[in-house]
């Protein structure tokens, strides 16, 4: 278990707490918009830099279980995970009392082994990009999102990326997702753009677990909170208010 750097928004005395888990080669700071929005709604928000990501401490192992073991606290009113962070949130959800609600934003729950080389190559290629490169790669993102992502990538290493993929092959936490016992919202990207979660997989999870709901953000890709932030925040707020 490692001590993780944290970024906070809101009043620590707030009655509602949220934990945000970023995706691969990102950082807690990349949640700035979601953190600010939840804080304005009265939440105290904590975002971590996962091991080997952002300013997170480096490690020799990057299994989902290792990532999950590092996470602070329990009794979170909501835990929100994106991509890799979604898989980590699912594994951590097995910890008794860890979270009262879970939101998975285009989570990387299951990847065919044939997909992993392409994923690895894509992530490694991003490590070579500077700020200008990310501006060209993500022209629709807010400049703050681009800056935070570029900064996080500059701190990531090929070793961390390679070990995360290797240590989690086969990449599959679907069984753990089916076992979740708290209200859970899966926010998917639009498949006409890109999503890491096939519709049939999401539908099967909804059918297998009455706690799970699935929504798609039209026009969003793998990062709905950055691709279509207003729509994603509206969906998130509506679901939290109902649960």
Please give the angle made by the CA atoms of 142, 143 and 149, to the nearest 5 degrees: 95
Comparing CA positions, the residue from 132, 76, 148 lying closest to residue 68 is 76
The domain that holds 45 is classified in CATH as 3.40.50.1820
Per the structure, the complete domain to which residue 155 belongs is given by 6-242
Task: Decide if 229 is inside a domain.
Answer: yes
Q: Which helix (H) or strand (E) holds 78?
A: strand 78-82
Task: Decide if 19 is inside a domain.
Answer: yes
Tokens found for residue 136? 């060209």
Whole-angstrom Cα distance, residue 78 to residue 69?
A: 17
Task: Decide if 164 is inside a domain.
Answer: yes
Comparing CA positions, the residue from 26, 194, 195 lying closest to residue 108 is 195
Task: Decide if 29 is inside a domain.
Answer: yes
Task: Decide if 1 is inside a domain.
Answer: no
Average confidence (pLDDT) per 10 residues, the chain, 243 residues:
97 98 98 98 98 98 98 97 98 97 98 91 95 96 98 97 96 98 98 96 98 98 98 98 96
Burial 7-33 (b: 16+ CB within 10 A, else e): bebbeeebebbbbbbbbbbbbbbbbbb
The number of domains in the chain is 1
Task: Decide if 31 is inside a domain.
Answer: yes
Task: Decide if 228 is inside a domain.
Answer: yes
Task: Decide if 152 is inside a domain.
Answer: yes
pLDDT digits (tens, 9 = 90+) for 115-167: 899 989 999 999 999 999 999 999 999 999 999 999 999 999 999 999 999 99
- pLDDT on residue 28: 98
């Amino acid at each position: 278990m490692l001590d993780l750097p944290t970024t906070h928004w809101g009043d620590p005395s707030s009655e509602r707490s949220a934990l945000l888990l970023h995706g691969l080669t990102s950082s807690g700071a990349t949640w700035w918009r979601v953190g600010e929005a939840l804080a304005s709604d009265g939440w105290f928000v904590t975002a971590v830099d996962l091991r080997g990501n952002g300013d997170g401490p480096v490690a020799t192992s990057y299994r989902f279980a290792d990532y999950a073991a590092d996470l602070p606290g329990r009794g979170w009113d909501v835990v929100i995970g994106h991509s890799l962070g979604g898989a980590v949130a699912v594994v951590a959800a097995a910890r008794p009392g860890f979270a009262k609600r879970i939101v998975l934003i285009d989570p990387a729950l299951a990847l065919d082994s044939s997909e992993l080389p392409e994923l690895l190559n894509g992530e490694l290629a991003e490590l070579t990009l500077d700020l200008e490169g990310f501006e060209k790669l993500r022209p629709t993102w807010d400049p703050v999102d681009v800056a935070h992502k570029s900064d996080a990538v500059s701190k990531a290493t090929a070793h961390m990326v390679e070990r995360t993929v290797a240590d989690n092959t086969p990449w599959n936490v679907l069984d753990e997702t089916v076992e979740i016992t708290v209200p859970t919202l899966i926010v998917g990207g639009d498949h006409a753009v890109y999503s890491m979660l096939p519709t049939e997989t999401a539908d099967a999870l909804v059918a297998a677990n009455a706690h799970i709901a699935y929504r798609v953000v039209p026009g969003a890709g793998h990062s709905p909170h950055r691709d279509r932030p207003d729509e994603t925040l509206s969906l998130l707020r509506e679901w939290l208010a109902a649960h």
